[in-house]
Amino acid sequence: MGFLNLSFLWTMIMPLIVIIYYFFRKKYIQQSVSSTLFWREIMKETKVSPYLQHLQQNALFYLQLFALLLMMFVLLQPYIKTKNISGEQIIWVVDTSSTMLAKEENETIFEKHKNEMLALSKKLGGKAVTIVTVGAEPKIVLQDEKNRARIERAIQQLQVTYSHEDWPNTMDFLQSIIGKKSTAVYIFTDAIEPKQLPKRTKNIKWIVQGSEKKHQNISLQRFGAIQSAEGIEAIAQIENQNPKSQQTTLKIYNADQEEIARKTINLKANHITKVRLDNLKSTDALTARLTANDEYAADQSMSTLLATDSSQIFVDQSLHQLISKAFQSIDSSASTISSNQLESIQSKSILVTNHTDLLHQSKNPILLIGRDDKKALKVDGEVKIIDPKLFSYASIEDIYVEKVYPKVRNAKTLVTVGDTPLIQQTENGHIVVLMDLQMTDWALHPSFPLFLWSAKEKLTAHNSQLGTFKPGEKRVVSLPESKKGIDIYTPNNEYIKSIADGGSFVAPSKPGLYYVKTDSDPLYFVVALEQQEKTLSEGTSFQYGELSKQNTINKDNSIFSTILIIMILALLIVEWEVQRRYGFTN
């Protein structure tokens, strides 16, 4: 035997009250008076009709009977059929993709869905809700929450994340949450095909709230620019998704958000138009913006970073082959050249060599592995990282080092072996490894290629761009060191957020151009809308699947029980009063 609802044990108080009540029942003090002539008349006033009198005399009996009947009624667990949400478990799946920002009348689809959710939250009838947002990955916002205030707060805080909704992943995720319980899944999206929903319908009811409107949309599909001898050349691809031809203006802005070009374009209905702009002034990034009358604004602007010369890696032939192999696996453009050619290499390319003099001569960033001017000495001791910035991904403390070259002057020690420096960084930013590969087993450790990658990133970190990201994308980037932490701003110098280091870089969710404030030049990066998010599709609202019968009945007995309990308590009080006034009438 078990109890389903031990929490109702508190109702033990009720019989206790009755018992106490009988203990302390009214005691009449006997008092003899000469005549009850007047008293009788006072009492007569309350004994008007015979029915009332009967009720009065038997009030206790009736009240107790009524209380017992109510008890029985509570035990029967009455419920009313209301238009409440059915299912044992309720899951609200909220699409937070960019297309949810398409306008419907005065509000966006997203806002409309939010209001719908708020309305639904009032009909929950004490059931738990799980809210899942769908973006690049499904995310649980609320799990099995019953508190209406908390549900409403969570709904209010929902925001569009701009990333494309990943339905297959979400469906798998949902299946794992649903389990075997009967579940009502509400999908708040703009458009989803019934075939995108799982086949399994046992105990699951899918309720899809789509947007049935065909939206007006003009979309800036692609935008790119290259630096040429005559200036910047930009190409834009604009798609008119409307069945009507339309005119629009394309404006181009530079990195400082100054308008540098403008063009009026006639767009044919359901047609893609290509626009080419030449001889633009040199800048770090370009932003194209369309001024068109449509209902979806997120796809009307795009930013692009100007392709700068990518830094190439040149590896000295005299170095161990493993090094050049490793660099080639990191960057296919890495090439091996002879030591003599190294000096003629253009700036910004990374040189990997053992020529110590290059440290002072070359302007290129240098990764020095071994020294050609000194002899290596035997070393004994454990490898110890002093400055971990190059080793955030893999520690090298487990490698063995046999010999080590003497240290270079004016350089910061990053790693030591015993007391001797092993890896250093010069004031110019060059990285010096004071050993040859033959002197260590490092090449056998996974930390070796990771170190090379880190070194390469470190040496190229002085670029002016970070690249292009998806909304809210997490990617490890290498950022210049900054004592104050790293802040992200829009080109209008609006503060967005701060991050600790390149390892925890998360792109902002709103598409557009951003920059990371550094001590020197700003580092630009672009958050671009995914291509799928640039097309609005017409959706439908439909329901699909069915809950097993016993669960389709909405048991909304919570209010009932509360009311009944309150009634019983009120009854007890009334009984008390009746007892107090009339006593036992038998």
**Residue 36 lies near other proteins (rule: CB under 8 A):** yes
Q: How far is the CB of 9 from other proteins (least distance, A)?
A: 35
C-alpha dist (Å) from residue 239 to 9, 236, 269, 329, 477: 67, 10, 9, 39, 33
3-state DSSP call for residue 422?
A: strand
Of 6, 29, 119, 500, the one binding other proteins by CB under 8 A? 29
34 is a contact residue toward other proteins (CB under 8 A): yes
- Look at the chain and count its residues: 586
CB 174 within 8 A of CB 185: yes
Task: Examine residue 586 and tell whether it contacts other proteins (CB under 8 A).
Answer: no
For position 40 contacting other proteins by CB under 8 A, the verdict is yes
> Which of 9, 22, 45, 375 is the binder for other proteins (CB under 8 A)?
45
In the structure encoding, which two tokens stand for residue 49, read together? 């009709």
How deeply is 522 buried, as exposed, middle or buried, from its count of CB atoms within 10 A (0-12, 13-18, 19+)?
A: middle
The beta strand positions in 359-502, using DSSP E, are 366-369, 377-378, 383-385, 403-404, 411-417, 420-426, 431-433, 465-469, 486-489, 495-499
580 binds other proteins (CB under 8 A): yes
CA neighbours within 13 Å on the CB side: how many for 574?
Answer: 15
Q: Is 1 among the residues that bind other proteins (CB under 8 A)?
A: no
Question: Per CB under 8 A, does 581 bind other proteins?
Answer: yes
The 10 Å Cβ neighbour count of residue 59 is: 18
Least distance (Å) between residue 36 CB and other proteins? 4
Q: Which position among 10, 22, 23, 38 is part of the footprint of other proteins (CB under 8 A)?
A: 38
Which of 36/341 has CB closer to other proteins? 36
Q: Of 226, 228, 224, 192, which Cα lies nearest the Cα of 207?
A: 192
**What's the N-to-C CA distance of the chain in angstroms?**
41
Q: What is the CA radius of gyration of the chain?
A: 38
**Cβ of residue 59: shortest distance to other proteins, in angstroms?**
13
Name which of 26 and 122 has its Cβ closer to other proteins: 26
443-480 burial, b at 16+ Cβ within 10 Å, e below that, comes to bebebbbbbbbbbbbbbbbebbbbeebbbbbeeebbbb
d(C-alpha 160, C-alpha 508), whole Å: 12
Contact 189, 95 (CB under 8 A): yes
Query: What mask of x and - would describe binding to other proteins in positions 341 to 380, judged by CB under 8 A?
Result: ----------------------------------------
Task: State the burial class of residue 217 (Cβ atoms within 10 Å of its Cβ: 0-12, 13-18, 19+).
Answer: buried
Q: Which of 4, 6, 33, 500 binds other proteins (CB under 8 A)?
A: 33
Contact segment (CB under 8 A) with other proteins among 25-33, 162-170, 183-191, 473-481 equals 25-33
Quote the least distance from Cβ 55 to other proteins, whole Å. 17
Q: Taking the complex as a whole, how short is the minimal distance between the CB of residue 37 and other proteins, in angstroms?
A: 5
* Region near other proteins per CB under 8 A, out of 26-34, 114-122, 236-244, 418-426: 26-34
Looking at 23-31, 68-76, 139-147, 427-435, which segment touches other proteins (CB under 8 A)? 23-31
Q: Does 520 bind other proteins (CB under 8 A)?
A: no
Candidates 32, 338, 340, 550: give the one binding other proteins (CB under 8 A). 32
Chain-centroid distance, C-alpha 380: 49
In the complex, what is the shortest distance from the CB of residue 54 to other proteins, in angstroms, rounded to a whole number?
17
Q: How far is the CB of 127 from other proteins (least distance, A)?
A: 49
> How large is the greatest C-alpha to C-alpha distance in the chain, in angstroms?
137
Q: Which is nearer to other proteins, 73 or 576 (CB)?
A: 576
CB of 154 vs other proteins, minimal distance in Å? 55
According to CB under 8 A, which one of 22, 23, 28, 51 is a site residue for other proteins? 28
- Cβ closer to other proteins: 284 or 575? 575
| φ and ψ of 580, to 5 deg | -60, -40
Out of 41, 230, 427, 519, the residue judged to bind other proteins by CB under 8 A? 41
Beta carbon nearer to other proteins, 34 or 332: 34
Binding status of residue 576 toward other proteins by CB under 8 A: no
Q: Quick one: which of 43, 68, 69, 444 contacts other proteins (CB under 8 A)?
A: 43
- Which residue ranges make up the site for other proteins (CB under 8 A)? 26-43, 45, 580-583
